[in-house]
Structure 1
Amino acid sequence: MGKTSGRAAGFIEANGTSFYYEACGEGEPLLLIHGLNLDTRMWAEQLSAFSERYRVISFDLRGMGQTPNAEEPFTLYDDARAVLQGLGIAAAHVVGHSFGSVVAQELVLAYPEMVKSLVLVSPTLTGYPRSERRMQDFARFVEIYETGTKEETVEMSARMWFDGPGQAARDESQQARAKYLQMTAHAYDLPKLKNPPLWLAPPPIERLEEIAVPTLVIAGQKDYEDFQKMAEELEARIPNAEKILLPDSAHLPPMDQAPVFNRIVLSFLEQARQ
């Protein structure tokens, strides 16, 4: 077990922008990649728990958190690679949440030598069809975004993603939910990306069988149906993958069930290292 060291934070200049990062602990590197409209703050419980055994790194994707936009074309997998290289890391275990799971998938396919194992949380497959319920809720979200207040928009986002579709907010998750609201409100105050990322071609959905590292897929049973189906497809098509379904989580297991999530991931990482 590695000895926990003090937390470091700063910026890495690369690919035309400045990536905000946080790092903590010693041992094998473990990279955490957050979801859309979130930032490094979603990993607070993981930085503390994982840094007892690993060198844990999280960073803000460009245009989110404290990482600015940039004018020139970019790829998300090259951004992740640049953060690792900027910290002198040749290879790492990688955890990606939702949109961040796309970054993780692209990274392992573009630079397989840089990824030791993969944890895909509430994962997304670019090009996979959305469920009817998610499309209906998203249409309602767009209506609120265009005609309502920022507070109403952020609350609708929390109902969709933190609570889960049709679910009531849980008393035991109020502190984590408040942090989600804070991050999401911050995201809506930031300038929008002027140009979308250039996606890996062919995309991961056509290449899952190429992923050769140990892979854990984690999904929440209270999440939208299509995310559960994407998790099933990832488990079925990635050669060395296993899936765990959390009955009490929606889309944010690292936040709404942090102790359970942390135990599962640490157990998987120990097996992956053997």
Structure 2
Amino acid sequence: MLSEPRLGGTATDIAVRGGAIRVETLGSGPPLLLLHGWTLDRRMWLPQVHDLAAQYRVIAIDRRGFGQSSAPPDLTEESADLLAIADTLGLDRFALAGMSQGARIALAFAAEHPERLSALIVQGAPLSGVPGGDGDLPINQMAVLAVAGELPTLRYLWRHHPLMQVDGLPANAIVDHIVAEYAARDLAAPAHPFEFGEGDLARIVTPTLVLTGAKEPAWRHRVAGVIARALGAERIDIAGAGHLANLDQPELYNRALARFLAECGRALPASRIN
């Protein structure tokens, strides 16, 4: 049983192919949709939502296969999920922020549906085809454990991986709770190959902010550089932060998001700001 409450907002289920996506909304103003990373859920945005909800309609989702969403895992369906969420909530255009695997989904959505986005933020993004990513994630080992039903061992392995390390009690408590409830549905399900590489970036025209934690692995910094150069995007390293930069250094992270979103909002015609 997953713990309640989540973020303290209004939660609802939105129908998508194969099930539903759990969405939680806080605040009012221009819409900002948040995509969590692999093995995580919408609780990873706890240090952001209440701060940003003072100026934005913050919409945090549990991606399919994670958290409280019932839709089965399938990366190839997630752009369609975002469209369903936006259409159901009446969002013409919205800002989209994604972390890690969620950032790859955000990039793919920006390439496929540029007319729906006012701003794009990607944090610790992976990218297919950039050399040096082998061994970045212990996916194969974790998949074997998932199929064997060895979830405690899987969770221990992942919680102690360098990508999952954060500083401070609040951040560690959030990560502990999320990892303890990770059900590995995506690892136990049939694979749905999903690729998004450097060549696909040419289709993105949305103003973009590329974030990494300063202490992230070199490959993540290399990918961030590729994305920033291809898109002519702003690039920021969050000082003192690892892969989970929004949890490690929430004040610096929130400040960077708020400034970028404000700049993008000023650049939009008033009639297009929801």
Q: Write out per-residue CA displacement over residues 217-238 of structure 1, whole angstroms, 9 at most, x where no aligned residue.
A: 0101211111110001011111
Matches within 5 A, 1:114-193: 114-131=116-133, 134=136, 150-159=151-160, 160-163=162-165, 170=167, 173-188=168-183, 190=185, 192=187
Question: Which TM-score applies when normalising by structure 1?
Answer: 0.83
Q: Which amino acid aligns with 1:218?
A: L
Cα distance in structure 1, aligned partners of 2:24 and 2:65: 17
One-letter amino acid of the counterpart of residue 270, structure 1: A
Match of 1:19 among 3, 18, 21: 21
Q: Is there any run of 5+ residues in structure 2 with no aligned partner, and where?
A: 1-7, 267-274
Q: CA deviation at 1:199?
A: 3.7
Secondary structure of 1:46's counterpart equals helix
The Cα of 1:149 is off from its aligned counterpart by: 6.4
Whole-angstrom CA distance in 1 between matches of 2:25 and 2:140: 38
Give the root-mean-square deviation of aligned CA atoms: 2.8
Tell me how far 1:174 sits from its aligned partner.
2.3
2:103/2:126 contact within 8 Å kept: yes
- Whichever residue aligns with residue 241 of structure 2, its letter is S
Distance 1:215 1:71 in 2: 27
Displacement, 1:71?
Answer: 8.9
Q: Which runs of 5+ in 1 are unaligned?
A: 1-5, 164-168
Counterparts in 2 of 1:72 and 1:272: CA distance versus 1, 3 Å? closer
Alignment length (residue pairs): 258
The worse-fitting range, judged by mean Cα deviation, of 52-61 and 70-79 is: 70-79
What is the match of residue 211 of structure 2?
A: 218
SS in 1 for 2:183: helix
Matched-pair identity in %: 26
Q: Distance in 1 between matches of 2:204 and 2:26?
A: 28
Name the CA shift for 1:140/1:62 in 2 (closer, same or farther; >3 Å): closer
SS at match of 1:217: strand
Contact 1:15–1:82, Cα closer than 8 Å, also in 2: no
Is the aligned partner of 1:266 residue 2:258? yes
Q: How far, CA to CA, are the matches of 1:254 and 1:212 in structure 2? A: 25
**Cα gap change, 1:271 to 1:206, in 2 (>3 Å):** same
Relative to structure 1, the CA distance from residue 87 to residue 195 in structure 2 (aligned partners, 3 Å threshold; closer, same or farther) is: farther
- C-alpha separation between the residues in 2 aligned to 1:222 and 1:147? 33
Name the SS of the counterpart of 2:29 in structure 1: coil
| Residue in 1 that maps onto 2:249 | 257
